[in-house]
Amino acid sequence: MIITRFAPSPTGYLHIGGLRTALYSYLWAKRNGGKFLLRIEDTDLKRNSLEAAQAIEEAFKWTGLSYDGEIIYQSQRFDLYKEYVRKLLEEKKAYYCYMSKEELDALREEQTAKKERPRYNGKYRDFEGEPPLGIEPVVRIKAPLSGEIAFEDGVKGRISFKAEDILDDFIIARSDGTPTYNFTVVIDDALMGITDVIRGDDHLSNTPKQIVLYEALGFRIPKFFHVPMINNPQGKKLSKRDGATDVMEYKNMGYLSEALLNFLVRLGWSHGDQEIFSLKEMIELFNPNNINASASSYNQQKLEWLNACYIKNAPSQRLWNEALNFGLDMRDDKNAEFLADMLRERAKTIIQFVQMAKAIIDEPLSYDEHAVKKFVTALGVTHLKNYAAFLKEYDGGFENVTNEFLEKNALKLKDIAQLIRIALTGSSVSPSIFEVMDVIGLKTVLSRLDKFIDFIEKKGIENE
């Protein structure tokens, strides 16, 4: 069975790069009928916070990615890690090192001066006898100091490191007994039965150390897939300056989670030239062996385009549920369906959707000054007055009645359309005026027209 995991360190919000590796891990497990586990790597008690762990859970909830079983918190597993440190000590695969900080510093200085790579010199590797007093020892692993450490990466192909270039007897437990990062990852991945590790390629240099530990502990080494970073369009590391990096910010900007997931799955993976993938399709098609070996590039326009596609195809109820996040509750309104049909083609985000809906539903509190200046003329206001009077008298659909009015007065729609638009919504950009009128109804149309005429008459007309 394929078992994957996502193992974030809770140091802040969930980054979109993190969500992407979580998604890849999720898809690969689901595709194989396997399991996807969530492990919070919260051993660094100074840098980790409960809020950050909650932010990760919240982001999972929003995107609908579900994990199997309970969340595993590393901070609750210190006893377990200690047990394995003890085991390695007993088997003489690890040892106590009593080197003081001063000694280590001096060693590093000496090596740097000789232009050598700073590394531990193995002083206590085979030490027997009385340890120095007053030093709380660290525990170091006996790492192979020569030879090659190689593995087949599912994304990058064969990766090999020369032991002497990257390894020394690295620390697995600090002097206060707490285990180090690479150690906890290996113990957990092994005990959780992880078969496929999909993670950012910023972890590539940790992998040989982890392989050393797998071997020392006698655990099976999982498959690794190191996913290249997401860059900005200039090819540099994506940062906040390039756009939002916090997953939940996308919710706040009015993106649908399925659009974000679709966007992320394509950042670094493709299936022919298909752009739109439902979650079901992603599960059917995703394979980490096809992840691009080179970095991908963040493209905001693409995300907007995807979001617009998903909004266009979302059921009205879904859109109104999303609108709740932005303070608009239209769920029980009789016009909800009609209004959604009218707006879903135009809105790129839920925020725009809500703004457009509000512009129609709410009586305008003010009128766009620029539009008033540009479109209001004395003649136009006279037409508008006649039009309001005409509407009062005649029954029928707004479009028919308006056409009749235009015909009788030898006018064209463009002679009055912008004024009607401003009167009804406050601005000269809105969907078709007839659709707006259908939503708000005759009574509201008349009162908004009257109010606008009143406003213009009080204010005076600048365009004669």
Q: Give the interface with ligand GLU as residue ranges (CB under 6 A).
A: 7-9, 41, 185, 199, 203
Contact present, 31 and 286 (Cβ < 8 Å)? yes
Work out how close the CB of 14 gets to ligand GLU at its nearest, in angstroms, rounded to a whole number: 10
- What's the angle, vertex CA 108, arms to CA 105 and CA 112, rounded to 5? 140
The residues pairing with 226 across neighbouring beta strands, listed in sequence order, are 199
b/e sequence 51-81, b meaning 16+ C-beta within 10 Å: ebbebbebbbebbebebeeeebbbeebeeeb
Q: Which is nearer to ligand GLU, 229 or 309 (CB)?
A: 229
What does DSSP assign to residue 255? -
Instruction: Please tell me whether residue 141 adopts helix, strand or coil conformation.
Output: strand
* Residue 363: CB atoms within 10 Å: 12
| Cα separation values, 436 from 2, 199, 363, Å | 53, 50, 12
Q: Which is nearer to ligand GLU, 23 or 439 (CB)?
A: 23
CA distance 16 to 247: 5
Q: Which is nearer to ligand GLU, 9 or 180 (CB)?
A: 9
Q: Which is nearer to ligand GLU, 190 or 416 (CB)?
A: 190
Q: Which is nearer to ligand GLU, 201 or 322 (CB)?
A: 201
Work out how close the CB of 126 gets to ligand GLU at its nearest, in angstroms, rounded to a whole number: 31
CA 173 to chain centre: 34
Work out how close the CB of 39 gets to ligand GLU at its nearest, in angstroms, rounded to a whole number: 8
Joined together, the tokens standing for residue 415 give 């002679």
Work out how close the CB of 7 gets to ligand GLU at its nearest, in angstroms, rounded to a whole number: 4
Q: Which is nearer to ligand GLU, 41 or 169 (CB)?
A: 41
Nearest to 140 by CA among 108, 103, 182, 111: 182
Q: Which is nearer to ligand GLU, 41 or 322 (CB)?
A: 41
Work out how close the CB of 269 gets to ligand GLU at its nearest, in angstroms, rounded to a whole number: 18
Between the CA atoms of 183, 185, 191 and 194, what dihedral angle is there, to the nearest 10 degrees? -140
Instruction: Please tell me whether residue 293 adopts helix, strand or coil conformation.
Output: coil
Work out how close the CB of 197 gets to ligand GLU at its nearest, in angstroms, rounded to a whole number: 6
Q: Which is nearer to ligand GLU, 41 or 196 (CB)?
A: 41
CA distance 96 to 8: 30
Rounded to the nearest 10 degrees, the angle between the axes of helix 257-266 and helix 300-313 is 140
Tokens 């950050």 correspond to: 52
Q: Which is nearer to ligand GLU, 227 or 342 (CB)?
A: 227
Q: Which is nearer to ligand GLU, 216 or 340 (CB)?
A: 216
CA distance 325 to 354: 10
Work out how close the CB of 34 gets to ligand GLU at its nearest, in angstroms, rounded to a whole number: 17
Q: Which is nearer to ligand GLU, 78 or 434 (CB)?
A: 78
Q: Which is nearer to ligand GLU, 199 or 344 (CB)?
A: 199
Nearest to 15 by CA among 258, 264, 282, 255: 264
Position with the least CB separation from ligand GLU: 199
User: Where would I find the H helices in 204-349?
Assistant: 207-217, 247-252, 257-266, 279-285, 300-313, 316-323, 336-343
Joined together, the tokens standing for residue 359 give 């512009």
Contact present, 75 and 44 (Cβ < 8 Å)? no
Between the CA atoms of 191, 197, 200 and 201, what dihedral angle is there, to the nearest 10 degrees? 110
Work out how close the CB of 19 gets to ligand GLU at its nearest, in angstroms, rounded to a whole number: 12
Rounded to the nearest 10 degrees, the angle between the axes of helix 336-343 and helix 316-323 is 90
